Amino acid sequence: MKKQITISPSLLACDFLHLENEVKSATDAGVGMLHADVMDGVYVPNISFGFDIIKSVVSVSDVPVDAHLMIKRPYDYIDVLKNAGVYSVTVHSDFDSPEVVRETLEKIKASGMKAGLALRPMFGANTLKDCLDICDMILIMTVEPGFGGQSFMQDMLPKIRAVRTLADNTGREISIQVDGGIGEATIGDCAEAGADNFVIGTAFFKATDRAAAARNFKIAAESHR
Ligand code: DX5
Ligand code: ZN
């Protein structure tokens, strides 16, 4: 059975001056998840927001909050994310050695959260071989991580297909998330390739009617599977 389509607005593109309203507007629009991008200025050349902000978001969100950690030391913050009430935590495959990456994913799982592994554009599906058995989600970056509003990288589509096949072969339910430049023009191709969870920053928060946008994204994804 195919996993249901999830639209995950990325808070990076929201109006931070009105964070509570932005969270409510997203959940009222009927989305399935909220995506919180944490950047430390070291793993990526940008700094976003930290864990107190995420805790505040969780406290007013009707849907699960997913933390995408673009940071050098994710291990140190797993307890704090658990206490904040985060649903899932994704770390990047290259923030440290494969051993440390695995240890970090294991700690996320042991804390009772869902564990995700993210691949930057330069890393192929084979990067997953050491960790796929403990992942609940694979995040395929469709831009270089660090900034919202970039253009979708079309050449990531074969990787989505390859990861979908690897994930299906495990016999476990593994979600495939895509992140970067997702919108009406690109969501269908990603769904067709096997993605089921769509992170959407700019195209969601800049939409004049967010509920209609969320509906249209979902319809576009569903009609391409
Ligand atoms: C980029 C972040 C994304 C970003 C997506 O490093 O991981 O989640 O917010 O933004 P858009 O949808 O504008 O490309
Ligand atoms: Zn992200």
Q: Of all atoms in ligand 1, which is nearest to the CA of residue 182? A: 12
Mutation test of ligand 1: which of 43, 119, 190, 202 has the most ligand atoms closer than 8 Å to its C-beta?
202
Cα of 20 vs centre of ligand 1, distance in Å, is 20
Tokens 């990787």: give the residue.
159
Is 78's C-beta closer than 6 angstroms to any atom of ligand 1? no
pLDDT tens track of the chain, all 225 residues?
688 999 999 999 999 999 999 999 999 999 999 999 999 999 999 999 999 999 999 999 999 999 999 999 999 999 999 999 999 999 999 999 999 999 999 999 999 999 999 999 999 999 999 899 999 999 999 999 999 999 999 999 999 999 999 999 999 999 999 999 999 999 999 999 999 999 999 999 999 999 999 999 999 999 999
Global pTM value:
0.98
Non-local CB neighbours of 108 within 8 Å, separated by 6+ positions:
78, 89, 91, 114, 115
Cα of 129 vs centre of ligand 2, distance in Å, is 22
Residue 40 structure tokens: 């430390």
**Over 11-31, what HEC string results?**
HHHCCHHHHHHHHHHHHHCCC
Is 68's C-beta closer than 6 angstroms to any atom of ligand 1? yes
33-to-67, 74, 76, 107, 122 alpha-carbon distances in Å: 10, 21, 24, 22, 27
C-beta of residue 204 within 8 angstroms of C-beta of residue 13: yes
Catalytic residue positions, numbered: 37, 179
Going edge to edge, which strands form the sheet with 6-9? Answer: 6-9, 197-200, 175-179, 137-141, 114-119, 88-92, 65-70, 34-39
Q: Of all atoms in ligand 1, which is nearest to the CA of residue 11? A: 9
